[in-house]
Amino acid sequence: MTEHVLHIAKLNNNCPVCYTTDGLEISFTQNEKETRFYNKADKAISETIYCHTCKNVIYPVDWNSDIERIYDYHKKQVTPINSMFKPKPILYLSILIVVIILAGLVYILGAS
Ligand SMILES: [Zn+2]
């Protein structure tokens, strides 16, 4: 699982926990599952507001209207990763090998 950071920004808002104005940081992340054969990103984007001063994650219940406003502003700048199924070349190669084996079997069975 790879975590992609889509957008990260420092906020000048007051931290609802320790009230400093220089500790908050908002980040938007999206997980992408990576297997040997394909990549597939989650549709869901997780957003976190973290205060570096008091080392707390600020959960939405603690957000004030200023934080909500800045959250909306930053959310608009986030471009999600395409969550389409992304096959790797080895997947096509594996399919090709299976097809060749099947074709070979059909040929052998047909010839006998
Ligand atoms: Zn804080």
Residue 95 Cα to ligand 1 middle (Å): 53
**Residues 6 or more apart from 49 whose CB is under 8 A from it?**
11, 24, 25, 26, 27, 57, 58, 63, 67, 71
Q: What is the pLDDT of residues 41-59, one digit of tens each?
A: 999 999 999 999 999 999 9
Residue 8 Cα to ligand 1 middle (Å): 17
Residue 62 Cα to ligand 1 middle (Å): 11
How far is it, in rounded angstroms, from Cα 70 to Cα 12?
10
Residue 30 Cα to ligand 1 middle (Å): 24
pLDDT at 106 (0 to 100):
94
How far is it, in rounded angstroms, from Cα 20 to Cα 52?
10
For residue 112, is pLDDT > 80?
Answer: no
pLDDT averaged over every residue in the chain = 95
pTM of the entire predicted model? 0.78
For residue 103, is pLDDT > 90?
Answer: yes
List the domain boundaries for the chain: 2-87
Residue 3 Cα to ligand 1 middle (Å): 24
